[in-house]
Amino acid sequence: MSPLLKIGRYIVFPIMTQMLVFGGGFSIDVDLDSDGKRENISSEVFKTVEDYGSYSRLVVKDESGRVIWKAPRTEDIDNPFFMGDFEGDGANTPELAMDIDHDGKVELLVSIPACDISPRLYDIFEWRTNGFVPSSQDSILFSPALSASTRFEWRRDDIEGYRFFWVDSMKKSSTGSKYEVEASIIGFVDDKDGVSSIVKGTALIYMNRNGGEVKRWISGPLFGDGRPYPFAKGCSYRAKIGISDHFNSSGRRLKSLRAILRQDRANYHAGRGDARDTPESCFGTRSSRNSFDTAEIVAYGKKLEDMEKMVQEDNPLLDITYENGRFHISISDSE
Q: What is the DSSP string of 257-314?
A: HHHHHHHHHHHHHTT---TT----SS-SSTTGGGHHHHSEEEEESS-HHHHHHHHHHS
pLDDT, tens only, 271-314 = 999 988 988 888 999 999 999 999 999 887 788 999 999 999 99
Nearest to 124 by CA among 104, 108, 103: 108
Query: Could you tell me the pLDDT band of residue 18, with boundaries at 50, 70 and 90?
Result: very low
Rg (CA), the chain: 22
- Say which residue, 51 or 159, is predicted with more confidence: 51
Q: Cis omega (within 30 of 0) on the bond before 144?
A: yes
Q: Is the entire prediction scored with pTM above 0.75?
A: no
Tens of pLDDT, residue by residue over 112-153, are 866 556 788 888 999 998 899 999 888 887 754 555 557 777
Q: Look at residue 305 and give its three-state secondary structure.
A: helix
Residue 261, pLDDT > 50, answer yes
pLDDT score for 330? 84
pLDDT at residue 164, rounded to an integer: 65
- Return the domain boundaries, the chain: 5-145+149-158+168-223, 234-331
167 forms beta bridges with 185
Longest Cα–Cα distance of the chain, Å, equals 78
